[in-house]
Amino acid sequence: MKERYLVTTADEFTWPKDKPILFLGEWCRLYGRRYIWQNLDAEVVPYHWDDRKKLYQDYLYLHDLYEELLNELAEQLNKIHNVDHSIRYWRILVGPWLSYFMQALFDRWEMLKKAIESYKIVEAWVPDFPIEYGIPNNMEDFENLFVSDLWNGIIYRKLLEKWKGIPIKKIPVPMTNTIRKSIHTISFQRKLKRKLAYLLSLLSGLFTRDKDVFLIITHFPIIFGLILQLQFKQIPKLWRPIPCPKFTVDLSKRKWKTEKNDFTNFKTVLRNNIPLFIPMSYLEGYKAIVSTCKKISWPKTPSLIFINNLFINDDIFKTWAAEKVEKGAPLVIGQHGGHFGIGLWEFTEEHIYKISDCFISWGWDDPERPKIIPVGNLKLIGKKINWDPEGHALMVEGTAPRYSYRMFSIPVASQWLYYFEDQFLFVKTLSVEIRKKLLVRLYSSIADYGWAEADRWKEKFPDIRLDFGETPIMPLIKKSRLYISTYNATTFLESMALNVPTVIFWNPKYFELRESSLPYFNRMKDVGIFHETPVSAAMHVIKIWNDVAGWWYSKEVQNTRDEFCERYSRVSEHTFKILKKTLQRIISNDISHENKI
């Protein structure tokens, strides 16, 4: 076996010149830099989670470990801050970070382990960034940071420093403004929207009563939110998130440890890295955030808190909500997108269930989880749309970071390369006529994560029409005769509920489904809505192209669509009334708020 030098990220400053290289993963090889790495003497370590059974078993293992570590971290943070908050309080506040961090660290640990056990490594080359660059300000900062080459370079260096027998070479890397800016930049438009939203919140505070129902980021149309507040006999308000302050790292506060020695054990490694990488908002900045929460004009003793978002990355809201929940305010969370109730595993779904008093779904339920209450698709309340029988085909693409992040049953890391190949095979199989009428909507030109999707498409199909995901999707749907969904998320739940002709395809190897959802997808497969291969989907599109309406409005297709939407994306003229009645029952304590955590 040939001796090689280990490279852990796409940072080319850490690539040895004229030496045999071992890339730790496909994330090291940016498509836009292929003219560099294609000519190197290099191998790539096979991805450990290409074994999807291992991925699921690791998810279950980390799920149990998370509960163990959450208790330890809650005890430690109570001690550090001289408070006595419950596990539920800390689950709401720090739980999302802890889960994301441990899942990411486990993946990085497992890849190093596989590389070291399977190859002859002469030396590992890692960037010599100051450790402070890897410590996030808050959870929002962490979400941007931990999928970057910068953060992962720091993590791999820290892990390798404790790994016996593997020499490491620390490479000085110029820390340009561009690197840091690429992670944390917020557009001018977004800054302006945040300022306007903040002003609206200030104005709303003038009319707030202590026991008001608190609605924020509900995802249903603003007018319905205002009407709902009127029906609760309160002055309508437009609450928006409060910006999180910037903090300064104090490494002296990060020296607490829970275990020593035995760095061959993942639990030990995890416990010793939590103090170092925990966001400043939970350590150095915690008291400032608590102080901010006391000053904001949100209700002091809300009769109910209802959200569809913010429960993951908004540390101001989470701190405020955790304190109110601890004092008895019911927390209601509405489903905010797809995959819930359908995918085989989903951390966010588990987290919502454990922190909330009620989880409002788009139609599905679970006999073993009584807090899930089916109401309907709140995003589509009052929405209708027409489609164009002579229009284009709209193909909606998905993507995720090059590095693994939160765990749910979709492709992980380099598995997105197989997803891309499926997309190209689908388009290649289409007739030339349909290809000319195809519009491919990329996930986002901003959140491309280094995959260079547009370049890949243009190289395969120079004449392909691309939408870069920056404009609203509804105007595109109006001009479409067919909506093509390619991954298990929100997209097809909305098109199906709006009764827009929809074809879905994905590889079941990478998009594992929950057993309870399989009968619905099998029936959709029978009528041509759902396909497990790109060729099958493309052949069906060719078959129906000249009479999409004839296929879509056939009795068997419409019955199947109705059945699916009733379960997973219910739309009804009564949805708003059902929501109101559900919230009233929670306020009056007619629905149990028991939290099994």
Predicted confidence at residue 597, as pLDDT, reads: 34
Write b or e for each residue in 385-402: b if 16 or more Cβ atoms lie within 10 A of its Cβ, otherwise e: eebeeebbbbbbbbbbbb
DSSP string, 219-280: -S-HHHHHHHHHHTTS----B-PPPPPP----GGGG---S--S-TTSHHHHHHHHHHHHS-G
Strand (E) or helix (H) holding 90 = helix 87-118
- C-beta of residue 183 within 8 angstroms of C-beta of residue 148: yes
* pLDDT by 10s per residue, the chain, length 597: 899 999 999 999 999 999 999 999 999 999 999 999 999 999 999 999 999 999 999 999 999 999 999 999 999 999 999 999 999 999 999 999 999 999 999 999 999 999 999 999 999 999 999 999 999 999 999 999 999 999 999 999 999 998 888 999 999 887 663 344 434 445 566 566 666 666 666 676 667 899 999 999 888 888 888 999 999 999 998 888 999 999 999 999 998 875 555 556 899 999 999 999 999 999 999 999 999 999 999 999 999 999 998 999 999 999 999 999 999 999 999 999 999 999 999 999 999 999 999 999 999 999 999 999 999 999 998 888 999 999 999 999 999 999 999 999 999 999 999 999 999 999 999 999 999 999 999 987 667 899 999 999 999 999 999 999 888 899 999 999 999 999 999 999 999 999 999 999 999 999 999 999 999 999 999 999 999 999 999 999 999 999 999 999 999 999 999 999 999 999 998 999 999 999 999 998 866 544 433
> What is the amino acid identity at position 13?
F
CATH assignment, 392-568: 3.40.50.2000
- Give the model confidence (pLDDT) of 149-187 as tens digits: 999 999 999 999 988 889 999 998 876 633 444 344 455
Please list the residues that pair with 56 across neighbouring strands: none
SS3 assignment, position 44: strand
Angle at 429 between CA 424 and CA 434, to 5 degrees: 100
Q: What is the dihedral of CA 524, 526, 532, 538, to 10 degrees?
A: -100
Q: Residue 219: its pLDDT value, please?
A: 83
What's the pLDDT at 570?
96
What pLDDT does 195 receive? 66
User: Where in the chain are the domains?
Assistant: 392-568
Q: Does residue 498 contact residue 380 with C-beta atoms inside 8 Å?
A: yes
Q: In this predicted structure, what is the pLDDT of residue 179?
A: 42
In the numeric block, which tokens belong to residue 14? 């850490």
CB atoms within 10 A of CB 424: 16
Q: Kindly list the distances between the CA atom of residue 501 and the CA atoms of 73, 494, 518, in Å, as whole numbers in the listed order.
A: 49, 11, 21
Cα first-last separation, the chain: 50
**What pLDDT, on a 0 to 100 scale, did the predictor assign at position 260?**
53
Q: Write down the pTM of the prediction.
A: 0.93
Give the separation between CA 325 and CA 305, rounded to whole angstroms. 9
Question: What are the beta bridge partners of residue 544?
Answer: none
pLDDT at 178: 37
**What pLDDT shows up at residue 294?**
94
Task: Return d(Cα 94, Cα 90) in angstroms, integer.
Answer: 5
Looking at residue 390, its pLDDT comes to 95
Beta-carbon contacts of 344 under 8 Å, excluding residues fewer than 6 positions away, are: 56, 409, 512, 513, 514
